[in-house]
Amino acid sequence: MNFLINDAMAAAPAAPGPAGDPIMQLLPFVLLFVVFYFLLIRPQSKRAKEHKNMVSNLAKGDEIVTSGGVLGRIADLDENYVSLEIANNVTIRIQRNSVTTLVPKGTFKTN
């Protein structure tokens, strides 16, 4: 009495699918991982390595931009912190890891 499904179709057993090669079934997942590696993982690790090298090579007098957008000149350094001169007689302390960009000398001008 079901009007939407034919009785012959409802009673038919499910046909077994082709067995296939297990390697061919895993191939799309392997290809997806390879694409993610080259498009996401590898570039991100490269940027992290470059940032780590830039932060470790900071020196007094370098001009930088912080992650908050503050531009200044490095007045003093220690292992974890940087003293940043942002104006005449105005110095702030920031963490080394918050340094985003090393800008060319002469970008920061104090009046």
Cα–Cα separations (whole angstroms), residue 103 to 32, 52, 63, 66, 106: 38, 16, 6, 11, 9
pLDDT at residue 49 in the model: 96
Look at 20 and 42; give whichever has higher pLDDT.
Answer: 42
Are 75 and 34 contacting, i.e. CB atoms less than 8 angstroms apart? no
> Scanning the structure block, which residue is given the tokens 């940043």?
84
pLDDT at residue 111 in the model: 60
pLDDT at residue 24 in the model: 84
79/35 Cα distance (integer angstroms): 38
Q: What is the pLDDT of residues 21-48, one digit of tens each?
A: 888 889 999 999 999 999 999 999 999 9
pLDDT at 16 over 80: no
